[in-house]
Structure 1
Amino acid sequence: MPPFDDWNIIDEEEEEELQDASFFEGKRDVILFCIDCSESMHELRDDPNYEDVKTSHLFTALEAAVQIQKKKVIVGPNDSAGIVLFNTTCSSEAKNHATEIKKNSFVYQTITPISAPAIQELIQLLDAAREDPELLRSTFPPLTGKKMPMGDVFTSCNWVLRDGAPKTASKRVFLITDDDNPHPGSKQLLTSARTTLLDLTQSGAQVEPFFIATPEKPFDPSKFYSSVLLPNVLNDDDDDNEDTGVLPESISITRVEDLLSQMRFHEVPKRAIFSIPFRLADGFVIGVKGYGLVTEQKKGSYKYFIDLGDRMEVANSRTVYLDEDHQAEFDKTKIVYGMSLGAPAVEDGSDEEGEGTESVSRIVPFGKRPFYTADEIRSFRTLDLEPGIKLLGFKDREELVFEDNVKHSVFIHPDELVCLRPILGSRNKLSMQKYSGSKRTFTALLKKMIEREKLGLVLALTRRNAAPIFCAMLPQAENGDEGEWKEPAGFHLIPLPFADDIRAAPMEEAFRAPDEVKDAARAWIDKLCVKNGAYPPDSYPNPALAYHNAQLQASAFREEFDPEAFEDLTRPKYDMIHKRAGNLMKEWKRALVNDESANAVIVTTGTKRKADVSVDEAEIRSKHEAGALGKLRVDQLKEFLKSKSQPVSGKKAELAERVADWLDSH
């Protein structure tokens, strides 16, 4: 099995000169914060972080938006963000928006690329609001006596995204409110909200709800939002049972200070690593997207800046190929690729059966190198297959063993709009292919495979320059009932190894611990297990990367960076560990010391390594010319003669003479 560091590599054999990943690199993320400004959101409460300070839910929501955007400056500078406030009497006319922005909704921040000045403007507003708690109420007066229809809220969000979000970006709406029933008893407004939300999702946007609850006012999603925000995204839009969806309770935030921590789970966009068709049979094709589940977040690439005197501009860098003879730029499309050759092939005599070989082989003159174009190299690698997944058949689930998982899997999900790039290297020629009914077909296949406990066998070519591989398609049912960690419904594509990818592990003798020692170890391990058996990686960021980003963030906003204030969330809590399992560890240590087999050592006999007897032919020829063949050992002389198919019997003088005769004749 490859080391863990290699699991992040999607295709190890890909060459940068041949791989066109501009579609994935140019994929941007757009977040639109849609925040409620009703009376309850303006109600003043004690600040959990500062004494004698009053804040509101609206203040906390805006502060969370600031923190997310500040982090985006470092990790996603090409992403965009915007803020829309609803249930307020402010008008959006000052923001130069069209009349499609509904009444009682205010676009405080249009969707623009992440920039420090826009964030600093919001920071100044929050700093002033901390000094004057009534500032937000006067700046964004709440709507009294009634509530804005949620259908109009989703319509306003739709138009804001259409005006500012790129077409190929992943668009998300962070809905923040503390009102669990905005339209009590009105089925018409509920239906209108569901219809406009469908229009919003069909435009490519996804709604992420953040419901604020307090001890005195709990949030019940079943009153309104369970009928509007359906949790099962695999259900087709025309299904008749869409009223039965129930939102999980984990989206309801019991404490206001948990709003930011909950947003961190949704902050990183789910960028697809490929978007390809899935062929179930001849003429039966659906669209899917693939997501990498095991990735490593690394530092962002640095950029060059040019000093223009009054400002700094980013220098656009590009790679060109230079012709050394003419000292001029060379066309990349004319570059050919070659490889080193061994000894020239022996020419066979004329054969009538071999006359047709000229059409499939290339005659290379002696001393020359064979060269291939980029298209030919890609043809060798892909076997002239187009990117896609082809279903070959089904197998019992028990036939997939643990040893087959030699590389991390890819998770696929249905998508009715697939982006294709027909020509390699063409960065502006994209074709969008729509596969209607992909979600319905994908869901039906998933349910049947889970019901019959089957897995699929597929041939996958995920990217245009990758190599085709056979994969096991393992179904996964949706699981979101227990805890906050939700497993979506879909398939895992597990690359199957070839015969030479698996080698037998050496079997070594060892002592087994008795049951008493095992029970003692199991006792303290159970005390230190992760809650609910799930590990959320977003809760424990890489400390080195987080420290680096904190410094960049302080520099971007001209803030003072305090190294002592940095918190490493991966550092073990030793006091808690000793409190929970300290005594159990001591008991296990005593049981381990009393076990005789723990101190036993298995004596193994070492194997004698054979001496290296290989000698280069050039070295032997040089010793022959200098008359120093007698300085070579007998085993070296025999090894050389054996490699030349010469007899190896006799004494050293005979062997040296035989080597000299062969060198003279060759």
Structure 2
Amino acid sequence: MADHWQDDTDEASDELQDFRFGGKDAVLFLIDATPPMHGPPSDGLDDESDPDTPQFSHFQMAIKAALHTLRTQILSSPNDLVGILLYGTQKHVGVDTFEHLSLLCPLSPPEAGHILRLEKILSQPDRFEDEFGTCDRFSLYDALWKSQTLFGEVQAGKIGTKKILLMTNQADPHQDQSDERRKAMKKASDLFHNHIYLDVLPLGPKFQMERFFKDLVQLADDDRADFGDPTVKMDDLLKIVRKRIHKKRSTGKVYLEFGPNMKISVNTYNFISKSYKPSKVKLAKDTNEEVVIQRSFFHPVTGAPLLPSDIKKYQDYGGKRIKLTQDETKAITMLDGELGMKIVGFKPLSSLKWGQYVRSSSFIYPEEKMIKGSRQVFAALLIKCLEKRVMAVCSFKARDSSGPSFVALVPQEERKDYEGHQTAPPGFHVVFLPFADDFRATPSVPMIEPEPEQLSAAKALVKKIKMKGYHPEAFSNPDLQFHYAMIEAMALERDDVDTPKDDTMPDMEFLAKKLQDVGRDFLESVYPDGYDPQASSTKRKAPAAKKEPAVKKTKTVDVDQEFDMGSYVDSKTVPKLTVQVLKDYLKANDIDVAGMKKAQLVDEVYRFFK
């Protein structure tokens, strides 16, 4: 199992300062523009494809994939770099030193002009022939050399990941040119030593990677083993490109400690993170420059400016203001304890209650560069936890400013689909466990036992509208998609806005056709005769005549004999109760609560149990 984490400890340097993490990601589309890529749309496509679906040449598919990437990155990762370099063009546009190379888009952050240029190439194929042209004369060595030069010319700060995505339908571009093949192989090896990763995306069903590109890619990335299948459909191409350029970003590196002088290093990842609309930026009306917001504090009496050391914070406790300095406030939030995870024991997986949800879980993977041998130890722990069906319980402190937590390391075995592609990675889910303060007492609500005919009607209803094949990736947030569509239309100066489809709204016509009499039978069996679901939501009419104001009744909560206040006192969780519950309990024990605030009510409860 350790092979899944690509153990390269023998070649790892003793210097651990350069992790090559962080910074901006850069991807360069290296697209074949030779005549075979511009062949008829039917070449290399499925015979059983839908005749109503528009067909594209392989070059158009590559351009559409690059366009889709630009549209995605300009919203999700606007600081990342995306470029497009063509080889096999009759003219050399944007490139001075090499023949038959053209720079369609420079390696820079995505811009609206780049999107408009690609859209014009797709909508006006003759425009490409006039501006660039196509030919069979090219050198893949020159294309790779120019690609490396483009990465070296970037002046946009630190670059985290550099990747070349080569898209072609020619399996052996230099089949009769041994010198060109040798030079391309040598340049691929140079790319690897400069931390530039080469990835080939084959187009067409008859593409054979073994003829040339398999050796080329392995020279550029010696850990690469899976090359995927040739792509023939546009939807499949977009999915593959999105997967190839995606960077797995670690949320942090921590130590996993087993005991004294025994620990390994791991990376933490988030599988799911809520997407938000980008924050608004205020601009000056006259200059259109970003407004800088500054905040200053002044003495309320003298008006003199206050330094951070002159300001204190306080916390109410027992009717008094407990003052704290800035350092004392910081010390309270930091607490004591070392960063990282410490295993405190193991428990069966069956003891984990999935209903005790605190926050979204994370995922950990071994990190070999900080501590050598972490992969082997991590794999051994994972295998044994899977065999014994246990989870590791750990104390976890992610950073200095965060408080300690208890987490459960839930093992996950690697899973693959029928084609051998990984669907679930091997590792541990970091499930956050609740503290005693996190539990809430749920109210006891009496349930009405339904009649047998009501159960039968409900069962028939559920069976009729049961969802098949649901997957969250099939549904996009309509609010976000409409926001992005508006921004894109304004940036590209378009008059019409393509309103995205709201997939969260049910198809009422389809449901009515599918349910037929089942829905009516359910309503008739559950609700009384003459029930109108719209009547409950309509606004009530005002009374005809004004009546005397009714005396406002105080809302009370019954504290019966089964209410166990002693358990809250023992666990020190009395402050979690509401003010009304505290008042009702004290009144039931003949204690005057007039004018008391919550803190005083809590003190009275503790005083009552002394």
Q: Which moved more, 1:554-563 or 1:481-490?
A: 481-490
Once the two structures are superposed, residues 320-361 of structure 1 have per-residue CA deviations (whole angstroms, 9 ceiling, x without a partner) of 3333356566544765432224257xxxxxxxxxxxxxxxxx
What's the counterpart of residue 134 of structure 1?
A: 129
CA distance in 2, matches of 1:190, 1:591: 72
Which of the residues 339, 344, 365 maps onto 1:392? 344
The answer as to whether partners of 2:29 and 2:83 remain within 8 angstroms in 1 is yes
Secondary structure at 1:555 match in 2 = helix
* Residue aligning to 2:464: 524
Aligned partners of 1:228 and 1:395: how far apart in 2?
A: 48
Q: What corresponds to 2:600 in structure 1? A: none
Residue 339 of structure 1 aligns to a residue whose secondary structure is strand
Contact residue 271 and residue 291 of structure 1 kept, 8 A = yes
- Deviation of 1:491 after TM superposition, in Å, equals 1.9
- Which structure 2 residues correspond to residues 168-567 of structure 1 after superposition, within 5 A? 169=160, 171=162, 173-179=164-170, 198-199=192-193, 203=195, 210-213=201-204, 217-219=205-207, 245-247=225-227, 249=229, 252-256=230-234, 258-260=236-238, 263=241, 270-306=248-284, 312-315=288-291, 317-324=292-299, 330-332=306-308, 335-343=311-319, 369-374=322-327, 376-416=328-368, 434-439=370-375, 441-482=377-418, 486-503=423-440, 505=442, 506=444, 508-511=446-449, 520=460, 523-525=463-465, 528-530=467-469, 534-536=471-473, 539-562=474-497, 566-567=500-501
Structure 2 distance, partners of 1:183, 1:554, is 43
Deviation of 1:170 after TM superposition, in Å, equals: 5.2
The answer to which structure, 1 or 2, has the higher relative contact order (CA under 8 A, 6+ apart) is 1
Separation in 2, partners of 1:273, 1:412: 10
Instruction: Find the aligned partners of 1:415 and 1:453 in 2 and give their Cα distance.
Output: 24
Q: Give identity over the alignment, percent.
A: 23
SS in 1 for 2:272: coil
Structure 1: how far apart are the matches of 2:129 and 2:477?
39
1:83 aligns with 2:84: yes
Q: For each residue in 1:13-42, what CA deviation from the matched residue of structure 2 results, as whole angstroms up to 9, or x when unmatched?
A: xxxxxxxxxxxxx96443332333344323
Q: Paired residue for 1:33?
A: 29
Q: In the aligned structure 2, how far is the partner of 1:86 from the partner of 1:248?
A: 23
Relative to 1, partners in 2 of residues 1:411 and 1:125: Cα closer, same or farther, differing over 3 Å? same
Which residue identity is paired with 1:320? R
Aligned residues: 507
Residue 167 of structure 1 pairs with residue 101 of structure 2: no
Written as runs of structure 1 = structure 2, the 5 A alignment for 1:655-666 is none
Q: Is the 8 A contact 2:299 2:306 kept in 1?
A: no
Per the alignment, do residues 277 and 302 of structure 1 end up closer, same or farther by CA in structure 2, a change over 3 Å counting? same
Counterparts of 1:253 and 1:522, CA distance in 2: 40
SS at match of 1:466: coil
Q: How far does residue 76 in structure 1 lie from its aligned partner after superposition?
A: 3.5
Correspondences of 1:641-660 after superposition (within 5 Å): none
Q: Supply the distance in 1 between the matched residues of 2:260 and 2:107 (Cα, whole angstroms).
A: 44
Which amino acid in the other structure matches residue 529 of structure 1? K
Instruction: Say whether the 8 Å CA contact 2:489–2:497 is kept in structure 1.
Output: no
For residues 330 and 37 of structure 1, the distance between their equivalents in structure 2, rounded to whole angstroms, comes to 65
Corresponding residue of 2:564: none
**2: CA distance, partners of 1:154 / 1:455:** 48
Partner residue of 1:94?
Answer: 95
Cα contact 2:74–2:110 (8 A) shared by 1: yes
Q: For the residues of structure 2 that align with 1:184 and 1:522, how far apart are their CA atoms?
A: 61
Structure 1 pair 638/446, CA: closer, same or farther in 2 (3 Å)? Answer: closer
Give the distance between the partners of 1:377 and 1:323, measured in 2 at CA: 21
Unaligned runs of 5+ in 2: 1-21, 44-48, 530-554, 560-586, 597-610
The aligned counterpart of 1:148 is 140
Quote how far apart the aligned CAs of 1:50 are. Answer: 13
Structure 1 pair 464/447, CA: closer, same or farther in 2 (3 Å)? same
C-alpha displacement at 1:474, in angstroms? 1.3
Displacement of 1:466 in angstroms is 1.3
Query: Deviation digits for residues 99-136 of structure 1, max 9, x if unmatched?
Result: xxx99765543322233344444444555x43446347
The structural deviation recorded for 1:181 is: 6.1
Once structures 1 and 2 are overlaid, which stretch shifts more, 473-482 or 172-181?
A: 172-181
* Residue of structure 2 equivalent to 1:64: 65
**Matches of 2:313 and 2:92 in 1, distance apart?**
62
Q: Over residues 498-553 of structure 1, what are the superposed CA-to-partner deviations in whole Å (9 max), with x where a residue is unaligned?
A: 23423465474454786966874564355x312xx6432xx422112211111111
Change (3 A) 1:636 1:522: closer
- For the residues of structure 2 that align with 1:337 and 1:446, how far apart are their CA atoms? 46
Cα distance, 1:410 vs structure 2: 1.1
Deviation at 1:266, TM superposition (A): 6.6
1:465 & 1:77 partners in 2: Cα distance? 29
3-state SS in 2 of match to 1:60? helix
On the 8 A contact 1:476/1:490 being kept in 2, the answer is yes
Distance change (3 Å), C-alpha of 1:465 and 1:82 = same
TM-superposed deviation, 1:458: 1.9
- What is the one-letter code of the residue matched to 2:39? E
CA contact (8 A) 1:41 1:177 kept: yes
What displacement does 1:469 show? 0.4
Equivalent pair of 2:251/2:267 in contact (CA under 8 Å): yes
> Which stretch shifts more, 384-393 or 568-577?
568-577
Letter of the 1:65 counterpart: A
Secondary structure of 1:402's aligned partner: coil
Note the C-alpha offset of 1:560: 1.5
Q: Deviations over 1:233-275 (max 9, x none)?
A: xxxx99xxx68x44555xx533135534654567775443333
Mapped to 1, the partners of 2:451 and 2:80 lie a distance apart of: 54
Q: Distance in 2 between matches of 1:378 and 1:300?
A: 30
What is the match of residue 112 of structure 1?
108
| Alpha-carbon distance in 1 for matches of 2:209, 2:429 | 31
- Contact (CA 8 Å) 2:23, 2:158: kept in 1 or not? no
| Alignment CA distance shift 1:593-1:50 (3 Å) | closer
Q: Check the 8 A contact 1:212/1:256 in 2, yes or no.
A: no
Q: Structure 1 residue aligned with 2:502, among 557, 568, 576?
A: 568
1:188 and 1:450 map into 2 onto residues whose CA distance is 47
Instruction: Tell me the secondary structure at the aligned position of residue 72 of structure 1.
Output: helix
CA spacing shift, 1:333–1:156, aligned 2, 3 Å: farther
Shift of residue 196, structure 1, vs aligned partner? 5.7
Distance change in 2, residues 1:208/1:297 (3 Å):
farther
Work out the CA distance in 1 between the residues paired with 2:350 and 2:465: 30
Contact 2:364-2:428 at 8 Å conserved across structures:
yes
